[in-house]
Every structure is written in C-alpha cells, then in structure tokens.
C-alpha cells in the first residue's frame, strides 16, 4: 500500500492541486473586484472579466472573444467593447491580440481599477 502523502506531494509538484495560499489569493482578487471595481460595469463587462479570471492559468488567460461571447450569451461585439473598456479601466491587459490565423488572444486580469478611473 502506498503512502497517501506521497500522492499529494506528487500532485502538488505537477501543479494539479493549488496551495491554500494560492486559493486564498485567488479569492482575494475576486473579492477586490466585487467590492471595489464592479460598480458601473455592464453585464457584458462583468461577465467578460469573470470568464477571463476563471480561465486564468499561470497569470494569463487564452480565450477567443467568440468563445467568451458564446459562454455569456452576448454578441462578439459586446465582448470586444467590454475588453476595450476593461483595458481602459486597468482591469484587463491585452498581452497578445490574436485573430484569424494568429491564434488566441492572451489577457492578464487585474482586480482593481486604475486610480485615475
């Protein structure tokens, strides 16, 4: 019979199970967004931020605007406008702008608006 702690250490080493600190940090970001940045955003902007936040792995999210739109039940144009506004507010950074034959766009999500907003 194998030692159960060895299996857990292996999972952690492979990055399958987040640490308690990582989980706490993710909830802190989500709480900051809800408490400090949510007011004044449209449904499409909130949904876009939440989808990208949920899809974030290793600091970035790689998701097409069409896929975000489908998941939210809104138009691609609404998502494109939401991404633009979220970037202007400092809630999102477009790391790489993908497109046809260019691959998926890459985003970095932030929880707080720029102080100038």
Least confident of 4-8, 32-36, 53-57, 66-70: 4-8
DSSP state of 33: I
Assigned token pair, 47: 């949904």
Q: pTM, whole model, 2 decimals?
A: 0.75
H and E: helices and strands count for the chain? 5, 3
pLDDT band at residue 10 using 50, 70 and 90 as cut-offs = very low
Judge whether residue 1 has pLDDT over 70.
no
Segment 24-52, tens digit of pLDDT = 888 888 888 888 888 899 999 999 999 99
The CATH T-level fold of domain 42-117 is Arc Repressor Mutant, subunit A (1.10.10)
């Amino acid at each position: 019979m194998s030692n159960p702690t060895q299996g857990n250490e292996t999972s952690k080493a492979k990055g399958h199970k987040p640490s308690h600190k990582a989980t706490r940090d993710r909830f802190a970001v989500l709480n900051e967004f809800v408490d400090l940045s949510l007011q004044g955003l449209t449904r499409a902007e909130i949904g876009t931020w939440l989808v990208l936040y949920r899809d974030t792995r290793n600091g970035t999210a790689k998701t097409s605007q069409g896929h975000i739109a489908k998941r939210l039940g809104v138009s691609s144009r609404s998502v494109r406008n939401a991404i633009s506004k979220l970037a202007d507010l400092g809630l999102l950074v477009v790391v790489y702008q993908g497109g046809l034959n260019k691959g998926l766009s890459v985003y970095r999500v932030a929880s707080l608006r720029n102080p100038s907003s």
